[in-house]
Amino acid sequence: MKQVRRLQPRHPIQARNGLLGGEKPMVCIPLVGKDHDGIVSEAKNVPSIAPDIIELRIDAWDFIEDQAASLAMIKEVRAIVGETPIILTCRGDWEGGFKKVSDEAKFGVYEAAVKEALVDFIDVELIYGEDKIKKVLELLDGTKTSLIVSFHDFKKTPSRDELVSILKQQIAAGAHVAKLAAMPQKEEDVLNVLSATLEVRRQFPCIPIITMSMDPTGAVTRLVGGLFGSDLTFAVGSQSSAPGQIPVAELRQCFNVIHPTHTEA
């Protein structure tokens, strides 16, 4: 019996040695160390874990307001992880991040890292609005860095129609990748995330999409979301960055079943 391929975007994004939107969803691990030694320790563990991509959560850094120190740290991480793609994410406390971070620090580090071609994706919340997102897109124009426009709700899951609307707003704002994560309060919320993902993937087949339902209740979306159009899932490397993340080794075992690399006649 012929294997049914998952729904993939028409225009996947090649980032160094990784492909966002390929036959299997990318497996991403977050690096959430706070100080220099902790960050380096996590980065040195990356080759043994062998994720498809890493997320550098710089909002966890003790020195994030120091642009020079932050840029030097990003350079050091890049040197350690080699050609593994990097998502650069700085999410303030009001966005569900680790602590209060000024916009000046966040976007200053983003700009410096992009100009030095250190990272492959940067993450900006939809709530910043189209004008700010447009300015970020102008920064990225002509570079190899792509923009993830994201939405996070750590308390609840919007209705299915709202989820679809949010993803459409991200795409309309110019996102290279649309990302959505929500906290389920009931099992139906998990189904709504998968259903909304499927609808948007079919309506907008070009760009990659990342969606997930959080907490243990939503963990199934991290396993099967790729069948509904989600192109990346987050897993636990050294530490998790959100509730419901699954250890990398366990996730890959499941992927081998859900996304087999061979076709049976």
Catalytic, out of 134, 152, 176, 186: 152
Which residues fall within 8 angstroms of residue 183, CB to CB, at 6 or more apart? Answer: 153, 154, 155, 156, 157, 213, 214, 215, 218, 243
5 annotated ligand binder: no
Beta strands at 18-20 and 13-15: parallel, antiparallel or unpaired = antiparallel
Which tokens go with 164? 């679809």
Q: What whole-number distance in Å separates Cα of residue 116 and Cα of residue 169?
A: 30
Which residues fall within 8 angstroms of residue 100, CB to CB, at 6 or more apart? Answer: 92, 93, 94
Q: Is 75 noted as a catalytic residue in this protein? A: no
Of 124, 182, 186, 119, the C-alpha closest to 150 is: 124
252 annotated ligand binder: no
Which residues fall within 8 angstroms of residue 5, CB to CB, at 6 or more apart? Answer: 23
57 annotated ligand binder: yes
91 annotated ligand binder: yes
**Which H helix or E strand runs over 265?**
none
Residue that is written with structure tokens 């308390």 in the block: 155
241 annotated ligand binder: yes
Query: Around Cβ 92, how many Cβ atoms within 10 Å?
Result: 18
Of 219, 236, 233, the C-alpha closest to 45 is: 236
Catalytic, out of 179, 186, 259, 262: 179
CB 224 within 8 A of CB 251: no
Q: What whole-number distance in Å separates Cα of residue 126 and Cα of residue 133?
A: 8
Q: Is 259 noted as a catalytic residue in this protein? A: no
The annotation places the binding site for 3-dehydroquinate at: 55-57, 91, 222, 241, 245
Annotated catalytic sites, by residue? 152, 179
